[in-house]
Amino acid sequence: MRFPSEYTTGNEEFPLDSAYWTFFELKMLAHHYCNLAFPMIQEVWSRFEAEISASRTRTESEALRIFKSSGREEASQLLTTRSNDIARETLVQTRQLIADIKTKAWFME
């Protein structure tokens, strides 16, 4: 099983492609600008979680169909691909949130 590369990097430096540092940056912005950031984060995550939840049943049904017709390896590959897609989209959403929070926060100051 392979993870998206962004989830395998991260150390004491701040590389732009690291999931760890991306989430850390959002955490620090949320801490510093909590009244601004929390509602924005909640709106985005609620919508994103609803999308994931809505697609989960379809994905599980498709994986079961593939498992029955083609075997465990194929079904596992589908689930890994979908999980990695969600992980990548989580980073896209997080990076957009960071940009939106910074933009609004800087215009407030």
Domain boundaries, the chain: 31-104
CA 2 to chain centre: 16
- State the helix-helix crossing angle for 72-108 and 34-70, rounded to 10 degrees: 170
Residue 48 makes CB contacts below 8 A (sequence gap 6+) with 89, 90, 93
Residue 80 has, within 13 A of its CA and on its CB side, a CA count of 10
By three-state DSSP, how is residue 9 classified? coil
Stated pTM of the model: 0.86
pLDDT for 58: 93
pLDDT tens by residue, 67-97: 999 999 999 999 999 999 999 999 999 999 9
pLDDT tens by residue, 10-58: 777 777 789 999 999 999 999 999 999 999 999 999 999 999 999 999 9
